[in-house]
């Protein structure tokens, strides 16, 4: 096979596929064939490059050019100008919205500058459907080292020394967990990878599985060797078809290469993995609910203790690790515990991947060393708030977490700091909110989620979240009562204390945290029946400003309930002033954009 002169890397994560990267790929194949250079240029589809806001992303190697928002119609120009003549196409380079500067190399871009890729190291570099790519960059070397040079105890000690803590949210020491299972005597043990990423707005685990599935498989094998397991399960969301497919291919290829199955590397270590698809239940991200689901039952949590490391899947010792945690393991083995300790903050070693989304300029997947401040993530990497609006708060930990606002965004990102300000690390969703977001409405949104996803096994969570939701719902509808906040707090604390599993224990967090930080908004809803952000539909009034109305009748014609009437007052060229009948208005907002003089306002 001739080595190719140029390589085209097309980001093929779910984000870029949704924005049309597959059309770009087809266009490249057609154009290259048309110009007769198909054998000089190789095209690879790689895992998530992280900068979803600017997708589809195309990289050209070896000159390392980073093109953004590439469409099928741009491809011909890339081929004729760049690939044939060697000229970079300026207009497809990333342009900083603030400075209007164009960037040739991704490493210079503010979005990538403060990032450090460890768990995502190979995402966007290797072809996830080609095991030889992974092997070519030291893949499965860590497993080989463990099997030949290290005892299980030594492997556990390295992981413990590295100080890595579970990236699924709780932050428990991974090495210590492995040691529990190692110490339990038993012929049958399991390694389970928790890929049931259910937090809305978190997509790091999916990106790792789509972009670099072998690192997870290798890590599971290392864990199995360390604790003495021979069977592994990946529990993955059915909503992630691409990740499921790539993982399936990766497992098959690993088997073909003898890296899964009997007597791996000719040793007496045997280990194999199968996949189990989730079926759309958020609670299954909780480890004991996940185990019940793998066993084919309703995903209801079990009472702990016994912990899964002692009695887990089919009552056998089981280690359950999150995808991102596992993706770190092979590199920890290869580069050593000291190397990992050198990244991040004391007690919070390594990096964390965040899915940055919401009202931020640079939506995407970012990996940063622990200890970075939220301010840096939002303003340096994220490029600040969209449309020049004012920052209000950042939400972490999804439906289990809370908000970080005001000066708190200068805190360093660690498990402890997040807890201290009433939020949590969670799996890594980071949603930025601006002045237009109503915090009461956001609290209601999260509670709606946890109420729906409550499995119903324990009363505090099943009934408690429903009662809290009812209160929040009436507050957002202008029917709030004076003692509602007191009641929300009392209910919240009780649910936290008495629920069976993590879902219930953390469900009140978004509400308690917003009450804590945005009490004034709650009071405005309850006392003044006003939504300061203008987001709660029932508290918004559409009003016509008499000075601006020209009596053109457009608003009255678009009104679906005919609640805009004329008055005797003359405006404009002998026309009649219009008014909105508040009693009949359904607040659909249809009139607002239609008014030619912007006379309709909300208040």
Stretch that binds other proteins, among 353-361, 477-485, 519-527, 570-578 (CB under 8 A): 353-361
Q: Does 296 bind other proteins (CB under 8 A)?
A: yes
Count of residues binding other proteins (CB under 8 A)?
A: 49
Q: Does 282 bind other proteins (CB under 8 A)?
A: yes
Q: Give the orientation angle of helix 439-453 with respect to helix 519-526, to 10 degrees.
A: 90
- Cβ contact 165:174 at 8 Å: yes
Q: Does 200 bind other proteins (CB under 8 A)?
A: yes
Site string for other proteins, 404-433 (x = CB under 8 A): -------------------------x-x-x
| Sequence-ordered list of residues with C-beta below 8 angstroms from that of 513, at least 6 positions apart, any chain | 401, 402, 403, 422, 423
Interface with other proteins (CB under 8 A), residue from 455, 461, 472, 552: 455
Q: Does 9 bind other proteins (CB under 8 A)?
A: no
83: DSSP letter: I
In whole angstroms, the minimum distance from the beta carbon of 14 to other proteins comes to: 6
- In this structure, what are the phi and psi dihedrals at residue 536, rounded to the nearest 5 degrees? -80, 110
Tokens of 365: 């997947």
Q: Give the orientation angle of helix 484-498 with respect to helix 459-476, to 10 degrees.
A: 160
Query: What are the DSSP calls for 196-209, one per residue?
Result: ---STT--HHHHHH
Q: Which is nearer to other proteins, 40 or 272 (CB)?
A: 272
In whole angstroms, the minimum distance from the beta carbon of 6 to other proteins comes to: 27
3-state SS class at 320:
strand
Closest CA to 362 of 344, 386, 345: 386
Closest CA to 123 of 48, 51, 14: 48
Interface with other proteins (CB under 8 A), residue from 8, 11, 19, 544: 19
Interface with other proteins (CB under 8 A), residue from 31, 41, 49, 55: 55
- Cβ contact 253:140 at 8 Å: no
Stretch that binds other proteins, among 196-204, 223-231, 317-325, 343-351 (CB under 8 A): 196-204
Q: Identify the sign of the CA torsion 51, 53, 56, 60.
A: negative
Interface with other proteins (CB under 8 A), residue from 136, 258, 280, 346: 280
Stretch that binds other proteins, among 177-185, 201-209, 474-482, 517-525 (CB under 8 A): 201-209
- Rounded Cα gap, residues 199 and 424, in angstroms: 13
Residue whose tokens read 């890594």 = 428
Interface with other proteins (CB under 8 A), residue from 202, 223, 250, 580: 202
Stretch that binds other proteins, among 293-301, 327-335, 415-423, 565-573 (CB under 8 A): 293-301
Stretch that binds other proteins, among 138-146, 234-242, 343-351, 482-490 (CB under 8 A): 234-242
* Count of residues making up the chain: 603
Half-sphere exposure (Cβ direction) of 159: Cα atoms closer than 13 Å: 31
Distances (CA, A) of 60 to 16, 121, 548, 597: 16, 18, 55, 49
Q: Does 514 bind other proteins (CB under 8 A)?
A: no
Stretch that binds other proteins, among 27-35, 120-128, 271-279, 470-478 (CB under 8 A): 271-279
- What dihedral angle (degrees, nearest 10) is formed by the CA atoms of 216, 222, 227, 231? 60
Q: Does 212 bind other proteins (CB under 8 A)?
A: no
Interface with other proteins (CB under 8 A), residue from 239, 376, 435, 484: 239
Interface with other proteins (CB under 8 A), residue from 190, 240, 271, 340: 240
Bridge-based pairing state of the strands 575-580 and 564-571:
antiparallel
Q: Which is nearer to other proteins, 356 or 421 (CB)?
A: 356
Q: Identify the sign of the CA torsion 452, 458, 461, 467.
A: positive
Q: Does 472 bind other proteins (CB under 8 A)?
A: no
Q: Does 469 bind other proteins (CB under 8 A)?
A: no
Q: Which is nearer to other proteins, 92 or 357 (CB)?
A: 357
- Rounded Cα gap, residues 342 and 210, in angstroms: 28
Residues 363-402 touching other proteins, rule: CB under 8 A, are 363-364, 395, 398
Residues in contact with other proteins by CB under 8 A are: 14-15, 18-19, 52-55, 198-203, 206, 238-240, 276-282, 293-299, 355, 357-359, 363-364, 395, 398, 429, 431, 433, 437, 442, 445-446, 455, 593
């Amino acid at each position: 096979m001739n080595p190719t002169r140029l390589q085209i890397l097309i980001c093929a994560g779910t984000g870029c596929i949704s924005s049309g990267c597959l059309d770009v790929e087809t266009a490249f194949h057609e154009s290259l064939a048309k110009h007769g250079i198909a054998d000089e240029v190789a095209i690879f589809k790689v895992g998530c490059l992280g900068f979803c806001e600017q997708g589809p992303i195309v990289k050209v190697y070896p000159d390392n050019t980073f093109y953004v928002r590439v469409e099928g119609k741009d491809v011909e120009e890339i081929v004729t100008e760049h690939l044939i003549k060697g000229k970079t196409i300026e207009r497809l380079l990333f342009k900083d919205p603030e400075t209007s500067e164009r960037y040739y190399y991704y490493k210079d871009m503010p979005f990538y500058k403060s990032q450090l890729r460890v768990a995502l190291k190979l995402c966007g570099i290797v072809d996830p459907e080609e095991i030889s790519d992974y092997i070519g960059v030291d893949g499965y070397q860590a497993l080989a080292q463990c099997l030949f040079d290290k005892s299980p105890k030594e492997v556990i000690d390295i992981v413990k020394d590295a100080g890595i803590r579970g990236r699924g949210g709780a932050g428990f020491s991974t090495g210590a967990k492995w040691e529990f299972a190692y110490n339990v005597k038993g012929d049958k043990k399991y390694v389970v990878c928790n890929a049931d990423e259910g937090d809305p707005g978190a997509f790091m685990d999916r990106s790792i599985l789509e972009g670099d599935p072998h690192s997870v498989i290798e890590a599971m094998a290392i864990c199995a060797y360390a604790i003495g397991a021979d069977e592994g399960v990946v529990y993955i969301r059915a909503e992630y078809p691409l990740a499921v497919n790539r993982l399936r291919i990766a497992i098959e290829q690993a088997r073909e290469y003898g890296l899964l199955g009997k007597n791996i590397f000719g040793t007496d270590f045997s280990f194999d993995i199968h996949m189990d698809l989730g079926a759309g239940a958020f609670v299954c991200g909780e480890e004991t609910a996940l185990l019940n689901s793998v066993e084919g039952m309703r995903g209801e949590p079990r009472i702990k203790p016994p912990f899964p490391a002692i009695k887990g899947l089919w009552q056998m010792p089981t280690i359950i690790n999150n995808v991102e945690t596992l993706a770190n393991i092979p590199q920890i083995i290869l580069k050593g515990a000291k190397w990992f300790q050198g990244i991040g903050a004391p007690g919070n070693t390594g990096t964390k991947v965040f899915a940055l989304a919401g009202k931020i300029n640079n939506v995407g997947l970012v990996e940063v060393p622990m200890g970075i401040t939220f301010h840096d993530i939002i303003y340096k990497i994220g490029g600040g708030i969209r449309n020049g609006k004012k920052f209000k708060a950042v939400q972490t930990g999804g439906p289990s977490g809370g908000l970080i606002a005001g000066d708190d965004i200068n805190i360093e990102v660690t498990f402890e700091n997040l807890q201290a300000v009433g939020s949590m690390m969670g799996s890594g969703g980071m949603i930025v909110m601006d002045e237009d977001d109503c915090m009461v409405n956001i609290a209601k949104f999260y509670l709606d989620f946890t109420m729906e996803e409550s499995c119903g096994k324990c009363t505090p969570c099943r009934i408690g979240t429903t009662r809290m939701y009812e209160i929040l719902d009436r507050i957002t509808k202008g029917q709030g009562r004076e003692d509602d906040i007191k009641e929300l707090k009392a209910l919240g604390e009780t649910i936290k204390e008495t629920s069976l599993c993590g879902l219930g224990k953390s469900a009140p967090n978004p509400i308690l945290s917003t009450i804590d930080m945005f009490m004034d908004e709650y009071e405005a809803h309850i006392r003044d029946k006003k939504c300061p952000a203008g987001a709660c539909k029932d508290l918004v009034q559409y009003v016509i400003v008499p000075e601006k109305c020209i009596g053109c009748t457009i608003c009255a014609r678009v009104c679906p309930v005919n609640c805009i009437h004329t008055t005797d007052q003359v405006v404009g060229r002998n026309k009649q002033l219009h008014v909105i009948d508040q009693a009949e208005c359904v607040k659909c907002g249809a009139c607002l954009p239609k008014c030619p003089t912007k006379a309709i306002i909300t208040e």
